[in-house]
Amino acid sequence: MEPVNLFDLATRQSQWLAVRQTAIAGNIANVNTPGYLARDVEPFEKVLDRTGMMLGSTQPGHMGFGATEASFRTQAQEYNGALLPSKNTVVVENELMKAGEVRRAFEMNTAIVKAFHGMLLSVSKG
């Protein structure tokens, strides 16, 4: 059966959000580490653009080239504020804001999946 596209998309977005949350946790944990550069995940749109060109796997034995957690790249962010003497670029307020964004997006994501799931149920139950 053809996988329903929306579930696939929602799964990918929730994986991306989880990876982003990990990046935020790393930044907050290292808020007082000298020389630490704040990191973030590449934007979700970029991930979607990239996955369009990936090879599909038709058998379980094939190497996966789809969007797995490992394929979301995290990179050190550009920083355009004044650099502290400790060369640390984490701003706690920014990180907490990003965490709020992740939370909102995740709530939206689960709500949509729930609604879609309810539709499927109502169809199959009749």
Three-class SS of the chain? CCCCHHHHHHHHHHHHHHHHHHHHHHHHHCCCCCCCCCEEECCHHHHHHHHCCCCCCCCCCCCCCCCCHHHCCEEECCCCCCCCCCCCCCCHHHHHHHHHHHHHHHHHHHHHHHHHHHHHHHHHHC
**With respect to another protein, which residue has the nearer C-beta, 50 or 71?**
71
String of contacts with another protein for each residue 49-68, x by CB under 8 A: --------------------
32 binds another protein (CB under 8 A): yes
**With respect to another protein, which residue has the nearer C-beta, 1 or 121?**
121
Judged by the rule CB under 8 A, the positions of this chain that interact with another protein are: 14-15, 17-19, 21-26, 28-36, 39, 69-70, 92, 95-96, 99, 102-103, 106-107, 110, 113-114, 117-118, 121
